[in-house]
Amino acid sequence: MAIFVLIPGGWHGGWAFAGFAATLRRHGHDVYTPTLSGLDEGSRQSPGGINLETHISDVQELLTVEDLYEVVLCAHSYGGMVATGVADRACERIAALVYLDAFVPEDGQSWWDLAGDGYRRLALDRSRRDGIGVTPPDGLDRRCAPHPIAAFLQEIWLSGREQSVPRRLFVYASDWEATPFTEQYERFRDDPAWEVHSIACGHDIVRHAPDEILAILQRLAAAL
């Protein structure tokens, strides 16, 4: 049995992992699916006071309140920014980091730095309404909420402690044209500190390839 904390990507809440979390629980694992500040469906919390550090604190508080250790932090997309910050601040609680087509920042980098020109244009265009929240791209689930633009812009502050996490996995979704993750995949696949997988599917990797992700996480859990 393992303890999984699943961190959603931009615009999404913990509901995005509901079906997959249920599958993990059926296999005997403990699973937490937090919704980051300002991203609840119908949230009345203004995104104006929320940044990346807020989201890191959200997950760190969950680990503290639930007294969780030997955690597998499993993050999708923007959630990789959050998972990296949590691992730096609470590395003693983390057994493994799993990046599911997710950003892996270095000290001083932001989502804005890593996302590429297309997503930077999207963030600008979709924040024009109030200059605070980035409205969800077309075609996403109706439950998606405006993402605080400060969370996309803020640089991450890392001490290097996140690199002491014993296991680090990167799962690359290779079958979508706009991916900003190719450079990370090519860098990590030759790095012995990383376990790297490539799956021919779209960016919503848990929805498109749940069986493959489950198999990867099951093998990881068995090895912890």
Other C-beta atoms within 10 Å of 108: how many?
Answer: 10
Could you tell me the CA-to-CA distances from 91 to 73, 142, 219 in Å, in that order? 11, 35, 22
Helices (H), 126-163: 149-153
Q: Say whether pLDDT at 42 is over 80.
A: no
Residue 172, H or E segment: strand 167-173
Average pLDDT, integer, range 33-47: 78
What is the C-alpha to C-alpha distance for residues 111 and 97, in angstroms, rounded to an integer?
A: 18
Q: How confident is the model at residue 40 (pLDDT cuts 50, 70, 90)?
A: confident
Q: What is the pLDDT of residue 43?
A: 57
Average pLDDT, integer, range 79-96: 98
User: What confidence tens digit (pLDDT) does each residue in 163-196 have?
Assistant: 999 999 999 999 999 999 999 999 999 999 999 9
Domain locations in the chain as residue ranges: 3-223
Q: Name the active-site residue from 37, 77, 110, 127.
A: 77
On whether the pTM is more than 0.85, the answer is: yes
Closest CA to 206 of 2, 5, 16: 16
Q: Which residues contact 44 (CB under 8 A, 6 or more apart)?
A: none
What is the C-alpha to C-alpha distance for residues 118 and 121, in angstroms, rounded to an integer?
A: 5
Q: How confident is the model at residue 49 (pLDDT cuts 50, 70, 90)?
A: confident
Q: Is 57 a catalytic residue?
A: no
Closest CA to 165 of 84, 96, 89, 76: 96
Average pLDDT, integer, range 145-167: 97
Closest CA to 76 of 162, 160, 181: 181
Fold of the 3-223 domain? Rossmann fold (3.40.50)
Helices (H), 9-141: 18-26, 52-65, 79-89, 111-114, 117-125
Q: Say whether pLDDT at 131 is over 70.
A: yes
What is the C-alpha to C-alpha distance for residues 183 and 198, in angstroms, rounded to an integer?
A: 13
